[in-house]
Amino acid sequence: MSHFADRLLSAIQEKGNPCVVGIDPRIELMPEFATSPALRMGFRSGVRKAITEFSYAVLEAVSPLVPAVKPQIAFFEQYGVGGMESLEDTIRAAKERNLLVILDAKRNDISSTAAAYANAFLGVTRALGEERPIFDVDCITVSPFLGRDSIEPFVATCAEHGKGIFILVKTSNAGSADVQDELLASTREPLYEKLAKLVDDLGQPLIGSSGYSSVGAVVGATFPREARTLRGLMPNAIILVPGYGAQGGTAEDATPCFNEDGLGAVINASRSITYAFGERGVSPKQFIEAVEANTKKMIGDVKRALVGLGR
Amino acid sequence: MSHFADRLLSAIQEKGNPCVVGIDPRIELMPEFATSPALRMGFRSGVRKAITEFSYAVLEAVSPLVPAVKPQIAFFEQYGVGGMESLEDTIRAAKERNLLVILDAKRNDISSTAAAYANAFLGVTRALGEERPIFDVDCITVSPFLGRDSIEPFVATCAEHGKGIFILVKTSNAGSADVQDELLASTREPLYEKLAKLVDDLGQPLIGSSGYSSVGAVVGATFPREARTLRGLMPNAIILVPGYGAQGGTAEDATPCFNEDGLGAVINASRSITYAFGERGVSPKQFIEAVEANTKKMIGDVKRALVGLGR
């Protein structure tokens, strides 16, 4: 068992870039080579087959290039038990290819219920005389809406099992302003700044030899001005940056999330990497080449933006 | 397809009480009649068997007594794919017994990802030339942290499929104060009041013939003072009240969540109903009798508290 933030930093340095590829299964948009064999199966086996074919092809394309992948669990869950089986397949295959797995789940609840989610994704579950990991990813995203005591069970599980969390601080959607941007009467600061201080505080005991904590934050690429402030409030946090690509954020927009050392953030793209492959009739080889090319383009953009800022 | 709030109000009137029983699978705490057969199986089949045995016994006890059950998905998810299979079993069995199913999932995300969650639990998923419901419950709990635009896909799915949501407004844990109680500089009101107004506004188009909306709110029984204010801000919302029983809330604490007509809220208890059965060696009959007795005691408490307030 090693330390999540140290593992992620080491993978970023090994691959030479901080890019993460999102895996969002949408069967209706997948290439036909993934869905055609599935059409001859029942629904449950079929969705598992289609998603697994798609995920494996994405992993083949991206595993030499990036440090981590980010499956979005909603897109697996919408396919039911077959979708959850394909999530297991995808996690296993990603880890076999030495990719870190950041599961985008935005989970949370109170006390023992939060602990159940932590067990499901980061720890182990005890049942029937056994104790075993369940979905067993490296890291998940967590919502702070229920307060500090709802996040502490996740932090405890991270400490015990060498895992990580990214706490939502400022999400990439326009509506994030409704709650996250509200100025607090007590401090005249927006709620997202209070949350950033909570991330920093919860993360202090989990700082690794890299100088980064296994308690990180989510800050959308769509809000570069806010990102600059947030970077300063959480010097030891790794920032997971969604919103690049299809959501309109550019590599330049994401640069305020990085520290002066050029580290401290990972940038995710999903649709612009995995669904920009042309016709649904592409061959597996053509699909993999398209995903590779899209990933290399993103890596190039991000590296240029970081160099351009002298970082 | 009928209207969720109307269905719930009608079930409350039929059963004569607004009590909901939570189903929180914790295999290590279950009676031996549920877990012993599971010990001879593999992990995945075993957890499905144990949870399903437990859930069916709970449903047998409570289906003549209460309008709805509330499975907590975290406690299923922690057992992996076998746990999710038992969630399907539990939902199906509850609906066969004419119980409404409120899934406590506290899900949310942005745009098409929120829509994927809405499809998973309230709508239908299209894949492989089919369109089918997946977990297909009557209602789920939703987090408002990502703002109005993150909730709208759920509201649209509710309108289309006759389903409902309960939006978290003031949760029952002490730490809920960290975010939900923050006074906003703009209005000098706590965030939970802003969220209550959002619930009221989103719910207006979904008000049924009962006068209640399919967009409801979660307000913990542990905060009766706040509940009084929140009830007034959301006159058409049904309030789901957790925190009764094991979390320390009393029936009297929950009464401010009701309207003058004695309706407008449902009160949930989980552990104090389903895990207060004595020795793990109880027979199925003894377990069912204990769950029945615990449920009847809660119903009595709640009815007395409502009468005591002249409602």
Give the pLDDT confidence of B63-78 residue by residue, as tens digits: 999 999 999 999 999 9
- Cα dihedral A298, A302, A303, A305 sign: positive
Rg (CA), chain A: 19
Q: Mapping DSSP to helix (H, G, I), strand (E, B) and coil, where does residue B135 land?
A: coil
- Output the pLDDT for position A310: 58
Euclidean distance between CA atoms A273 and A138, whole angstroms: 22
Q: Which residues of chain B have pLDDT under 70?
A: 1, 309-311
Mutate to test the interface with A, among B113, B126, B191, B201 (most CBs of A within 10 A): B113
Give per-residue burial for A136-163: e unless 16+ CB within 10 Å, then b. bbbbbbbbbbbbbbbbbbbbebbeebbb
> Closest approach of chain B CAs to the CA of A171, in angstroms?
7
| Residue B266: strand pairing partners | B240
Q: How far is CA B130 from CA A27, A291, B100, B192, in A?
A: 11, 28, 26, 41
- By the 10 Å C-beta count (0-12 exposed, 13-18 middle, 19+ buried), A229 is classed as middle
Closest C-alpha to A273, from A291, A299, A287: A291
pLDDT digits (tens, 9 = 90+) for B241-262: 999 988 889 999 999 999 988 9
Nearest to residue B78, comparing CAs of A210, A116, A172? A116
Is A145 within 8 Å of B72 when comparing Cβ atoms? no
pTM score of the predicted model: 0.98
How far apart are the CA of A141 and the nearest CA of chain B, in angstroms? 11
d(CA B94, CA A149): 32
pLDDT for B84: 98
**Torsion (CA) A229, A230, A233, A237 in degrees, nearest 10:** -150
Active-site residue, B106 included: yes
CA proximity to A192, closest of A207, A171, A174, A213: A171
**Burial B268-284, CB ≥16 within 10 A → b, else e:** bbbbbbbbebeeeebee
Strands, E, within B171-294: which ranges?
Answer: 213-219, 237-241, 265-269
Q: What are the chain B neighbours of A28 within 8 Å (beta carbons)?
A: 126-127
Chain A positions touching B182 (Cβ under 8 A) are 182, 184-186, 191, 194
E strand spans, chain B: 19-23, 68-71, 100-107, 125-127, 130-132, 139-142, 164-170, 213-219, 237-241, 265-269
* Nearest chain B Cα distance for residue A129, angstroms: 8
Q: Which residues of B are less than 8 Å from A81 in CB distance? A: 81, 84-85, 88
Q: If DSSP codes are grouped into helix, strand and coil, which group holds residue A288?
A: helix
Select from B202, B249, B203 the least CA-distant residue to B226.
B249
> Average per-residue pLDDT in chain B?
97
Residues of A in contact with B134 (CB under 8 A): 77-80
- Could you give the percent of chain A with pLDDT greater than 90? 95
Contact at 8 Å (CB) between B271 and B247?
no
pLDDT at site B246: 83
> Residue B249's beta-bridge partner residues?
B244
DSSP characters over A47-72? HHHHHHHHHHHHHHHHTTT-SEEEEB
Residues of chain A with pLDDT under 50: 311
Return the residue of A nearest to B84 by Cα: A81
Size of interface A-B (CB pairs under 8 A): 222
| C-alpha–C-alpha distance, residues A224 and A252, integer Å | 9
Q: Pick from A135, A35, A22, A118: which is nearest to A71 by CA?
A: A22
Closest-CA distance of chain A to residue B69, Å: 17
Q: Is B267 helix (H, G, I), strand (E, B) or coil?
A: strand
